C-alpha cells in the first residue's frame, strides 16, 4: 500500500503520457488533458516524462499516504490541503505516512495533477496505463475504470528532498477569457475562407458539454454549406464543425476518425488552456502559421525530455 484513495470524487484517473501507435486500430491516445501541468509535475520530481500520475477533475478527491515520498501538484487550483493546511501548487512537497491530501472544488481551472516521486507503479496495458473509460482500457484495474474509494496505488518510498517550484513565468493563469492559436484548414475537408471568417470573427463560450473526448463551444452558429466529409483521422486539437454550426475541439480521448468538416487545429501548446476552462469561459481563436509555432513546441518537448 502506498496511496489510499479515501474519496475518489467526481473523476480521478490514472494517466501517463498516453498510448501511441494504435490509432490505426481505432484506439485513442488518452493521456493528460493538460499536458503542460502534467509534465511540470513530473519534472519537479525528476521523474521520467511518462511517469504515471492521477488526473483529478473538479475536486472532491482525497487520499492518504502510507509511505514517505516527495509529491507535486500542478494544474488547477482545486483548493488542495495537506493535513488541513493549504497546499502550494506548482511545487514539490514532502509527505509522510498518514498524511492526508484533499482536493475540494475548483477555484481556477478544472484539472489538477498529482505526481509522486518515481510515479505510481501501475502495470501498463498496450504500452500505457492511461485510463480511457470509453475504451475500457488502462487504469489501475486495466478495464478503463476511474479510481474509486479504497483503491490503492503503489509507489516506491523515497526520502525527503528540497522543495522545488515552477518559475512564476511558466505558471498559467486560467482566466475567464482565453485566446487560442489555431492552424486554419482550407483544404477540401476543411472550410472555405468565408466559413473561417465567421469562426475567427466572434468569441465562443465553453458549454457544460466538455469531457475528455471533446469540448463543445457555443456562439453565433457558423453557416457552412458543406455538410459532411468522407471520414478521416482526427488530430489532437482538431476543431470540427458539425451541422449545427457550433465548433467542437477534440481532446485526448477523442474518437480516431470523424466525418465533419474541420475548421483547423488548435496549437498543441494552447490545448491545456482550453482543458482547464470552465463552462462559460470566453474563447476566441487567432490564426497562426505552423512555422511560427513549430520551434516552440520542439523546445518544450526537449525541455521535458519528451521523445515522441
Partner 1 sequence: MKLLPLSENTVLILFEQEINHSVFQQVTHCTKKIEADLAEYLVDIVPSYASIQILFNITKISLEEFNNLLNQVIKDTTVDVAEDRSTKIIDIPVYYGLEVALDIKHIAASANISVDEVISIHSSVTYDVYAIGFAPGFAYLGNVDKRIAMPRKETPRKKIRQGSLGIADQQTAIYPSDSPGGWQIVGRTPLSMIDYTEEKLTQFEVGDQVKFHSISQSEYIAMGGIL
Contacts to partner 1 by CB under 8 A: 20-27, 29, 125-126, 134-137, 183, 185, 187-189, 229-238, 255-257, 262, 264-265, 267-268, 290-291, 293-294, 297-298, 301-302, 306-308
Query: Of the two residues 4 and 135, which places its CB atom closer to partner 1 in the complex?
Result: 135
On whether the CB atoms of residues 53 and 43 are closer than 8 A, the answer is no
**Phi-psi label, residue 138: left if phi above 0, alpha if psi -120 to 50, beta otherwise:** left
Q: What angle do CA 36, 271, 234 make, to 5 degrees?
A: 125
Shortest distance in whole angstroms from residue 23 CB to partner 1:
4
Q: What is the dihedral of CA 79, 83, 88, 90, to 10 degrees?
A: -90
Q: What angle do CA 157, 84, 161 make, to 5 degrees?
A: 30
Shortest distance in whole angstroms from residue 268 CB to partner 1:
5
Query: Of the two residues 235 and 278, which places its CB atom closer to partner 1 in the complex?
Result: 235
Shortest distance in whole angstroms from residue 230 CB to partner 1:
5
Query: Of the two residues 1 and 289, which places its CB atom closer to partner 1 in the complex?
Result: 289
Distance CA 111, CA 57 (A): 4
Q: What is the dihedral of CA 36, 41, 47, 52, to 10 degrees?
A: -80
Query: Of the two residues 179 and 256, which places its CB atom closer to partner 1 in the complex?
Result: 256
Query: Of the two residues 109 and 214, which places its CB atom closer to partner 1 in the complex?
Result: 214
Shortest distance in whole angstroms from residue 291 CB to partner 1:
8
Shortest distance in whole angstroms from residue 143 CB to partner 1:
9
Distance CA 302, CA 287 (A): 25
Query: Of the two residues 152 and 227, which places its CB atom closer to partner 1 in the complex?
Result: 227
On whether the CB atoms of residues 35 and 308 are closer than 8 A, the answer is no
Shortest distance in whole angstroms from residue 87 CB to partner 1:
33
Shortest distance in whole angstroms from residue 307 CB to partner 1:
5
Query: Of the two residues 28 and 112, which places its CB atom closer to partner 1 in the complex?
Result: 28
Amino acid at each position: 500500500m502506498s496511496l489510499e484513495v479515501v474519496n475518489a470524487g467526481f473523476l480521478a484517473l490514472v494517466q501517463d503520457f498516453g498510448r501511441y501507435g494504435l490509432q490505426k486500430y481505432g484506439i485513442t491516445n488518452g493521456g493528460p488533458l493538460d499536458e503542460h501541468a502534467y509534465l511540470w509535475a513530473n519534472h519537479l520530481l525528476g521523474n521520467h516524462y511518462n511517469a504515471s500520475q492521477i488526473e483529478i477533475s473538479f475536486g472532491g478527491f482525497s487520499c492518504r499516504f502510507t509511505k514517505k515520498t516527495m509529491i507535486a501538484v500542478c494544474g488547477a487550483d482545486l483548493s488542495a490541503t495537506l493535513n488541513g493546511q493549504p497546499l502550494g501548487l506548482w511545487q514539490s512537497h514532502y509527505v509522510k505516512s498518514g498524511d492526508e491530501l484533499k482536493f475540494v472544488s475548483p477555484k481556477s481551472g478544472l484539472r489538477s495533477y498529482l505526481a509522486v516521486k518515481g510515479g505510481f507503479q501501475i502495470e501498463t496495458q498496450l504500452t500505457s496505463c492511461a485510463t480511457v473509460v470509453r475504451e475500457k482500457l488502462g487504469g489501475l484495474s486495466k478495464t478503463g475504470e476511474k479510481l474509486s474509494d479504497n483503491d490503492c496505488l503503489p509507489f516506491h518510498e523515497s526520502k525527503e528532498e528540497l522543495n522545488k517550484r515552477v518559475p512564476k513565468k511558466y505558471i498559467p493563469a486560467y482566466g475567464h477569457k482565453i485566446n487560442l492559436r489555431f492552424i486554419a484548414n482550407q483544404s477540401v475537408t476543411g472550410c472555405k475562407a468565408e466559413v473561417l471568417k465567421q469562426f475567427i470573427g466572434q468569441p465562443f463560450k465553453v458549454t457544460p458539454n466538455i469531457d475528455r473526448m471533446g469540448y463543445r463551444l457555443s456562439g453565433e452558429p457558423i453557416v457552412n454549406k458543406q455538410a459532411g466529409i468522407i471520414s478521416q483521422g482526427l488530430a489532437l486539437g482538431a476543431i470540427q464543425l458539425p451541422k449545427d454550426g457550433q465548433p467542437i475541439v477534440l481532446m485526448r480521448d477523442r474518437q480516431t476518425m470523424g466525418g465533419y468538416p474541420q475548421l483547423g487545429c488548435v496549437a498543441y501548446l494552447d490545448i491545456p488552456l482550453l482543458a482547464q476552462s470552465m463552462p462559460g469561459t470566453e474563447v476566441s481563436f487567432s490564426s497562426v502559421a505552423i512555422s511560427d509555432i513549430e520551434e516552440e513546441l520542439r523546445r518544450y518537448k526537449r525541455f521535458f525530455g519528451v521523445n515522441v
